[in-house]
Amino acid sequence: MQPIGQLVVLLLGLVLPLTSGLFINPYTKFWPRDSVSSPSTKGNDGDPLLLTPYIEQGKIVEGQAAARVNQTSRLKGFKSYSGFFTVDKRYNSNLYFWYFPAKVNRTTAPLVLWLQGGPGASSMFGLFVENGPFRVTRELVVEAREHSWYENHHLLYIDNPVGTGFSFTDSDAGYARDQVQIGEQLYLAVSQFLQLFPQLQTLPFYITGESYAGKYVPALGYTIHQKNANATSPLRINLAGMAIGNGYSDPVNQLNYGAYLYQLGLIDSNALERFERDESTTADCIAKKDYSCAFKVMDDLLDGDANGGNSFFSNITGFATYFNYLSTAEDPMEEINMVAFLMLDETRRALHVGDQPFTNPIVDNRVERYLQDDVFRSIAPWIEELLQNYRIMFYNGQLDIICAYPMMVNYLQKLQFNGANYYRTVPRGTLEFDGEIAAYFKLAFGLVEVLVRDAGHMVPRDQPKWAHRLITAFTHPGSVKGFV
């Protein structure tokens, strides 16, 4: 491994221009495009800790002890557990997790799973940059984060799907092709987690995530719903609800970029014509189930995944990011620190990841590539069924471009569920924290729609205090009068 200073300088010097596509990984800005491999210590740190054998052999106490994250000079003061769950033995496919017991009220605090989007974005981004117990300093030491969700929730992060972050498989056949497969594998991971930590089985379980996790969250929720209804399922997961931040769930009804950007003044009428034409073409491709066609048209127009970020949107606006319409670029320092920290030998040994690479999605984009036909498929029918049985909060940052609030509302208004008509007509309420308006919301049976002020694509990063208060209000019903 390189000295710390050189490592950070290397990552900073090579960091790509802040262009990153929704569909390859919305957080690729911390990866150098000209790097040739994923970070790895090349043989210094042993094998990844596979916990499935402990569970299968009934060695729960031993498994918990093995998963305990070791304290180091850079990572201390936080109790946590990490390791891998095998989700497909045919291909040695394993999902990586990192779990933090709640800071207070551990016997009653809800269990919250966080899933990053992408596809191909590691949930370590959420942990280190958005809502986890700590962040990484320039000195590559963790420091406590204010307003972390772990203050009153058990927090579980999973690198999903297989091939993302530390999660791995031995075969290309092990990569997910659709949300059914992702839901099944997440279910296997969560089931094993609850067997390893049986004291958590009775707690309310909430699935949360952002961006492309607008598909992952319902995929897991729908799978749990089906398995719980099956009397032969060995474990009934106590699913209490789901929360999706700036989610991408129903592509054909989220194709309103041209009108939105024009109203913001970011494009002119000529560019608007191009957007409207390409969006119409994309809708036609989706109607014909030609998902590769839809992907290519929108990639050229907006995302730039397949051509190094060189999209029509970036060329005419000069924007190197579409996470906040008040910012043309992002400061990647937090992400650079995160990656440098995860590359340290002592970190890797503490987390039990062994020599398993932390996948660079620029160099190894197989997660996105194998899910390309999934990108423009809708999971709205799953959401409709889930709304009949569970509470789902859809929250959006006011300033996002790529998964903008009006586009979320457009697809929510087309959902068919028992509160659909009421949702379309119910007036908004205001959500105030400490005397300040933080958000506007609507309640319609199980549906909770929220607009968070002064936030972009990553609400917990942009408004950490409000995001923590919001998730607490949702997971602790009745704690905020008039909300849920």
State the average pLDDT over residues 415-424.
97
The partner residues of 115 in beta bridges, in order of sequence, read: 209
Number of domains, the chain? 2
Side chain identity, residue 426: V
State the average pLDDT over residues 136-146.
96
State the average pLDDT over residues 194-210.
99
Examine the domain organization and report whether 55 and 196 are in the same domain. Answer: yes
Per-residue pLDDT of 112-121, as tens digits, reads 999 999 999 9
Q: For residue 63, tell me if it sits in a domain.
A: yes
Examine the domain organization and report whether 437 and 358 are in the same domain. Answer: yes
For residue 130, the number of C-alpha atoms closer than 13 Å in the C-beta half-sphere is 24
For residue 417, the number of C-alpha atoms closer than 13 Å in the C-beta half-sphere is 25
Q: For residue 5, tell me if it sits in a domain.
A: no
State the average pLDDT over residues 455-478.
98
Examine the domain organization and report whether 340 and 438 are in the same domain. Answer: yes
Q: For residue 258, tell me if it sits in a domain.
A: no
Whole-number Å distance between alpha carbons of 54 and 64: 9
- Say which residues have a Cβ less than 8 Å from residue 221's Cβ, sequence separation at least 6: 207, 239, 242, 382, 386, 390, 392
Most confident of 321-335, 353-367, 418-432: 418-432
Whole-number Å distance between alpha carbons of 110 and 151: 11
| Residue-by-residue DSSP string for 308-321 | TT--HHHHHH--S-
Q: What percent of the chain has pLDDT over 70?
A: 90
CB contact at 8 A, 252 and 283: yes
pLDDT of 9 over the 70 cut: no
Examine the domain organization and report whether 300 and 360 are in the same domain. Answer: no
Q: For residue 275, tell me if it sits in a domain.
A: yes
pTM metric for this prediction = 0.93
Tokens of 451: 């607009």
Q: For residue 15, tell me if it sits in a domain.
A: no
Examine the domain organization and report whether 391 and 285 are in the same domain. Answer: no
Tell me which H or E stretch contains 154: strand 154-159
Examine the domain organization and report whether 82 and 153 are in the same domain. Answer: yes
pLDDT of 265 over the 90 cut: yes
pLDDT of 402 over the 50 cut: yes
So which residues are the catalytic ones? Answer: 211, 400, 457
Examine the domain organization and report whether 345 and 218 are in the same domain. Answer: yes
CB contact at 8 A, 245 and 210: yes
Helix (H, G, I), strand (E, B) or coil at 57: coil
- Say which residues have a Cβ less than 8 Å from residue 50's Cβ, sequence separation at least 6: 83, 84, 85, 86, 94
Measured in whole angstroms, how far is the alpha carbon of residue 219 from the centre of its chain?
A: 13
Dihedral sign of CA atoms 165, 318, 462, 259 in order: negative
CB contact at 8 A, 227 and 262: no
Q: How many other CB atoms are there within 10 angstroms of residue 259's CB atom?
A: 15
- pLDDT level of residue 42 (50, 70, 90 thresholds): low
Helix (H, G, I), strand (E, B) or coil at 392: strand
Q: For residue 259, tell me if it sits in a domain.
A: no
Examine the domain organization and report whether 149 and 295 are in the same domain. Answer: no
Q: What is the CATH number of the domain that holds 458?
A: 3.40.50.1820
- pLDDT level of residue 230 (50, 70, 90 thresholds): confident
pLDDT at 83: 99
Whole-number Å distance between alpha carbons of 319 and 313: 8
Q: ∠ CA 27-28-29 to the nearest 5 degrees?
A: 90
The partner residues of 442 in beta bridges, in order of sequence, read: 449
Per-residue pLDDT of 291-342, as tens digits, reads 999 999 999 999 887 766 689 999 999 999 999 999 998 888 999 999 999 9
Q: How many other CB atoms are there within 10 angstroms of residue 436's CB atom?
A: 10
Q: What is the mean pLDDT of the chain?
A: 91
Q: For residue 210, tell me if it sits in a domain.
A: yes
Examine the domain organization and report whether 235 and 384 are in the same domain. Answer: yes
Least confident span in 127-141, 158-172, 177-191, 351-365: 351-365
pLDDT of 187 over the 50 cut: yes
Helix intervals (H) in 101-250: 124-125, 179-196, 213-229
pLDDT of 24 over the 60 cut: no
Domain containing 298 equals: 267-317
pLDDT of 32 over the 80 cut: no
Examine the domain organization and report whether 193 and 273 are in the same domain. Answer: no
Whole-number Å distance between alpha carbons of 296 and 305: 9
Whole-number Å distance between alpha carbons of 467 and 459: 6
Whole-number Å distance between alpha carbons of 54 and 196: 8
With 0-12 CB in 10 A as exposed, 13-18 as middle and 19+ as buried, what is 264? Answer: middle
The partner residues of 245 in beta bridges, in order of sequence, read: 210, 395
Examine the domain organization and report whether 351 and 391 are in the same domain. Answer: yes
Examine the domain organization and report whether 401 and 346 are in the same domain. Answer: yes
Nearest to 233 by CA among 184, 302, 168: 184
State the average pLDDT over residues 177-193.
98
Q: What percent of the chain has pLDDT over 90?
A: 83
Q: For residue 152, tell me if it sits in a domain.
A: yes
